[in-house]
Amino acid sequence: MLGVGRETLCRPDSWDRRPLTVTEKTLPNNASGAVAAGKDRKGRTRDRQSAGSQEPASPQAEQQRDYADLKRLITQEGLLDKQLGFYVINVVLSLALLAASLVFLLVVGNFWLQLLNAAFLACVFGQWGFLGHDAGHRQIFNGAPRNDLFGLLPSLVLGLSRSWWIDTHNQHHVNPNDLDLDPHTALPILAFSEEQARSKRGLLRFLVGYQSFYFFPILLLEGIGIRMASVQYLLRAEVRQRALELSLIVVHVALYLGVVFYALSVGQAVVFILVHQGLYGLYFGSVFAPNHKGMPTLDSESQLDFVRRQVLTSRDVKAHPLTDFWYGGLNYQIEHHLFPSMPRNNLKRAQTIVRAFCEERSIPYRESGALESNIEILQFLHEVSAPAREARA
C-alpha cells in the first residue's frame, strides 16, 4: 500500500519488488543495475516483446522498461559523465570558506561577531556535507577507490563516519519512505503514518501528537545526533576501516575543541559550540527534510517499479541559483534518486527530461517552493499524528 496522510493509493498487484543487491545499493551505473534491465524485481528473467510480435506489451512490462528508456535519454545527453572541474572548484571554494572562518575565529576579538561566524561555519559544514554525500554516491570520480579516498576528507572536517553514512543512506535510497525498511522513517519521536502514531506509548505518544510543533526545533540536535550515531555504528558494526574512521573522528574533535577553546574563553567557547552545532544540525536537517517528508509512504506490501518508487516518494524544490547552492543540488531530489551517481551540476538539465518523461506516462511529479515544501511537511506531520491526540480526547 502507498499512503499519503490518511489516504491510500492502491497500486496494481502485478508490480513486483525485490531487495536490491549491494552493487545496486550504491546505485546503478548501467541499466542492468536497476529494475528495468532485463530481470524483474524478484530476479526472474522478463520476456521482451520481439520486433515482429503481434501481442502488445503488458502494462507491467512497459513499466519495468521505463528506467532503461529514461536512462537512455539521460545518457544521450551526457548527464552521467563526471564533472571533475566543477568539483575541483567546489572543493577549493569549500576549503577557502573553512579557512576564512577559522582565521576569523583566531583574529577577531568581538564575541558577537564570533556568533555570526558560528552561523557561517554551520553553513560551511553543510557544504562539506554535500561533498561527502556526493563522494558516497560516486558522483565525483569514476569508480569507487578515489571517491572513497576523497570521502575521508569531509569525514575529517565534519567528524562523521563515512561507513555509517553510506550504509544508512543506501538503505534509504533502495527503500525511500518505506515505513518497514527506510531508516529515515524509523525515528522514535516522530510518526510518519497514522499506524506509527497509534503504536506509540506513554510519553512518546503524547509528544508525537504535537510533532509538527517540534519537528524543526529538534533538528537543532541533528548535528550531535549524527556524530553519536557514527560512533555507535563504528563500535558495533562490521566496518573495514574502523580504526581509521575512529581516528578521524578523534582528530576532528581534538582540533575543533582545541581551536575554539584557544580562541575564546571557556564560556564563550561553549556558547560558540552550541550555536555552531545547533545551526549546523538545523541547516542539514532542513535541507534533507523536504526531500521525502510529506510525500507518499510505502510498506512491505508496496509493489512499485523502480521509477515510480523513486518519483512518487520524492519532492523537488523549485530551482533557483540560491536554492541550488543552499540545498547542494538535493532540491532536485527526484532526479537524484533516479540517478544517484549523476554529478549534481547536471541535475537541473536532467530535470527537464525527467519531468517530461513522467508527464508522458502520467506519473505524478511533485515540485514545490522552499517555503511551500516546509508547510507541506508540517501539515503532513500534524495530520498523521491525529491518532495520538485523539487517544487522549
Higher pLDDT, 227 or 39: 227
Share of the chain above pLDDT 70, in %: 84
Determine contact, residues 276/118, Cβ cutoff 8 Å.
yes
The more confidently predicted of residues 301 and 202 is 202
Show Cβ contacts of residue 303 under 8 Å, excluding neighbours closer than 6 positions: 11, 12, 13, 14, 15, 16, 17
Residue type at 353 in one-letter notation: I
Q: Contact at 8 Å (CB) between 132 and 94?
A: no
Over range 240-264, report the average pLDDT: 97
Read off the pLDDT of residues 269-285 as tens digits, 9 standing for 90 and up: 999 999 999 999 999 99
CA distances from 66 to 18, 31, 308, 339, 354 (A): 17, 10, 9, 13, 11
Q: Which of 350, 372, 385, 368 is nearest to 314 (CA)?
A: 368
Examine the pLDDT at 6 and tell me if it is beyond 70. no
Mean per-residue pLDDT, 1-28: 34
Q: How confident is the model at residue 35 (pLDDT cuts 50, 70, 90)?
A: very low
Do the beta carbons of residue 185 and residue 178 sit within 8 Å?
yes
Lowest mean pLDDT among 48-52, 55-59, 192-196, 243-247: 48-52
Report the pLDDT averaged over residues 281-302. 92
Mean pLDDT for all residues in the chain = 86
Query: For the stretch 201-230, what's the b/e string if a residue is b when 16 or more beta carbons lie within 10 angstroms of its beta carbon?
Result: eeebbebbbebbeebeebbbebbeebbebb
Listed in sequence order, the residues at least 6 apart from 32 whose beta carbon sits closer than 8 Å to its beta carbon are 38
Instruction: Among 33-37, 205-209, 306-310, 322-326, name the one with the lowest average pLDDT.
Output: 33-37
Q: Over 270-314, what HEC string results?
A: HHHHHHHHHHHHHHHHHHHHHHHCCCCEECCCCCCCHHHHHHHCC
Strand duo 7-9 + 316-317: pairing? unpaired
Is the dihedral angle over the CA atoms 163, 165, 168, 172 positive or is it negative? negative
Dihedral pair phi/psi, residue 298, rounded to 5°: -115, 170
Chain-centroid distance of CA 383 in Å reads: 23
The residue written with cell numbers 571517491 in the block is 147
Q: How far apart are CA 387 and CA 211, in angstroms?
A: 12
- Which among 33, 22, 38 is positioned nearest to 338, based on CA atoms? 33
User: How buried is 123 (Cβ within 10 angstroms: 0-12 exposed, 13-18 middle, 19+ buried)?
Assistant: middle
Nearest-CA neighbor of 350 among 335, 361, 371, 338?
Answer: 335
Sheet of 7-9, strands arranged across: 7-9, 2-4, 297-298
Higher pLDDT, 62 or 7: 62
Closest CA to 328 of 154, 153, 149: 154
List, in sequence order, every beta strand (DSSP E) within the chain: 2-4, 7-9, 297-298, 316-317, 367-368
Say yes or no to pLDDT of 149 above 80: yes
385 by Cβ neighbours in 10 Å (0-12 / 13-18 / 19+) ranks as buried
Q: How confident is the model at residue 63 (pLDDT cuts 50, 70, 90)?
A: confident
pLDDT exceeds cutoff 60 at 8 = no
Residues ≥6 apart with Cβ < 8 Å to 42: 16, 17, 18
What is the C-alpha to C-alpha distance for residues 158 and 178, in angstroms, rounded to an integer?
Answer: 28
Residue 245, pLDDT > 50, answer yes
pLDDT at 58: 58
pLDDT at 57 (0 to 100): 53
